[in-house]
A and B are shown apart, each in its own frame.
Chain A
Amino acid sequence: EVQLLESGGGLVQPGGSLRLSCAASGFTFSSYAMSWVRQAPGKGLEWVSNIGGSGDSTYYADSVKGRFTISRDNSKNTLYLQMNSLRAEDTAVYYCAKVLRFLEWLPGPFDSWGQGTLVTVSS
């Protein structure tokens, strides 16, 4: 059974940094692209970033480009999101999500999602 468990969320001041982690199990982690998707309170889904299986292909939404960095450690089956220069509008639940197809480096579709970790940016 696929399991994705996010951690690292919390309250941070504007301009601060946070690193999210997503521990994966139940599948061959290195063979699947992974993404971060966020959802602001009461709002819709927003794709944030995607990374290929080896970690060498990464893509970002314009809203986070230059501030967020996605990475993965396939030896630890863990996905990361380093978030710098955080803004109030980054407040959201952050989900990690697994791409459906084996060895397909696309930003979707997502067949498995974690439960999410809440990031609150406020002074």
Chain B
Amino acid sequence: DIQMTQSPSSLSASVGDRVTITCRASQGIYNYLAWYQQKPGKVPKLLIYAASSLQSGVPSRFSGSGSGTDFTLTISSLQAEDVATYYCQNYNRPSGTFGPGTKVDIK
């Protein structure tokens, strides 16, 4: 099975900072990679799919890049409402494995 790793596991940044989260797949998954945001006590929200496509309604400060095994989620200017845990997900069949998550908070 494909394993997903994320780094860092947590980060603290100031409002307005550029934040980058990395996701790595144990084998190539083309661009079958999604990013989700989960705020405390809430259900996950889809941010990015196909590695770099922004889901409808998601602010443009969120962007994704990468293909194959290495992927990145970038928040261009961190806002207070972006405090959450971020998960990557491989959806290249047969499995839909999630990464372990990256917790983002405000410094």
Contact = CB atoms under 8 A, between A and B. Distances in A.
Task: Report if A and B associate in a common complex.
Answer: yes
Interface of A: 35, 37, 44-47, 50, 59, 61-62, 95, 100, 105-111, 113-116
Interface of B: 1, 32, 34, 36, 38, 43-44, 46, 49-50, 55, 85, 87, 89-101
Given A106-B96, A114-B43, 8 more contacts: A44-B99, A47-B96, A95-B43, A105-B93, A106-B91, A107-B91, A109-B34, A113-B44
Contacts of A37: 44, 96, 98
Nearest to A45: B98
A66 to B, nearest CB: 15
Contact of B44 (A45, A50, A105): A45
A62 B1 CA distance: 8
A45 B6 CA distance: 13
15 contacts: A37-B44, A44-B85, A44-B98, A44-B99, A44-B101, A45-B98, A59-B93, A61-B97, A95-B43, A95-B44, A100-B55, A106-B32, A107-B96, A108-B49, A110-B36
Contact of A111 (B38, B55, B89, B92): B55
Quick one: which of B43, B96, B97 has the most chain A CB within 10 A? B96
B100 to A, nearest CB: 5
A45 B44 CA distance: 9
